[in-house]
Structure 1
Amino acid sequence: MLVSDLPNSYQEVFKTSRGAVYQCDASNRLILAFWDTFTPMSSRDFAQFRRMVDTVDVRQMALSTDAADDVEILTPPRSERCYVLTLCEVIHLRELLGGAQAMLDLNSLLRECGCRLS
């Protein structure tokens, strides 16, 4: 699926040069677009996957000469997808997920304040 082929119900939450996170109000899901794949997740699964990505020891990956530390394998909750990530990809995914979470938090704060978003 190409970004241009996304349903109208998908609203962009946050985007980087490496991917994007969309929100679908129709299905109440967040969609992670990363590596030319689209992975739908509940907000709870999204938060859990973000914590998973944040706990990757990038320092260990960077400093280790052991081949086992060259990649990190992560599977989003309740998903058949598996990400095999290099150090740079872990950092890009952290940036994407962190930015999306910040935008979701900002949206929640604005709704609590009674502000209307267009």
Structure 2
Amino acid sequence: MSTVPSTWKEIYRNEKGAVYQCDTTCRLILEFWDTHTAFSARDFLQFKRMVETVDLRQMALHTDDAYDVEILTPPRTDRCYVLTLCEIVQLRDLLNGARLMLELNSLLRERGCCLA
């Protein structure tokens, strides 16, 4: 993966990418396929829901070419992802892991804990 600015804090990483938080711009940055896409918190959750709605079972069971890939366009970006079944699974893991870590961090802050 590429070098990231020092203002970005890694939220979650898997073998295909990472999600960072930038406190300077109040954005979440998705690193996937060696590209970076910045999201507001709302857009990040909307994109996560978009990825979750892809019917993996239907993609896996159909042999038609139309089911080989899914095209996803994140909100308020000029990026377009053309993803295979395996890539969607990896992206889901990345987004779910990041969401879980953000929720955990929020919970810890509510309880008065401080993460380094």
Deviation for aligned residue 1:3: 2.7
Rounded to whole Å, the distance in 1 between the matches of 2:43 and 2:85 is 23
Residue segments in structure 1 that go unaligned for 5+ positions in a row? none
The percent identity for this pair of structures is 64
TM-score by length of 2: 0.98
TM-score by length of 1: 0.96
1:21 aligns with 19
Equivalent position to 2:85, from 84, 87, 90: 87
Rounded to whole Å, the distance in 2 between the matches of 1:3 and 1:14 is 15
Give the 4+ runs in structure 1 shifted more than 4 A: none
- Code of the aligned partner of 1:33: E
Rounded to whole Å, the distance in 2 between the matches of 1:79 and 1:3 is 20
1:74 aligns with 72
Q: CA RMSD in A?
A: 0.8
1:107 aligns with 105
Instruction: Tell me the number of residue pairs that the alignment of Structure 1 and Structure 2 aligns.
Output: 116
Equivalent position to 2:57, from 24, 46, 59: 59
Rounded to whole Å, the distance in 1 between the matches of 2:98 and 2:2 is 17
Residue segments in structure 2 that go unaligned for 5+ positions in a row? none
Aligned residue for 1:3, secondary structure, equals coil
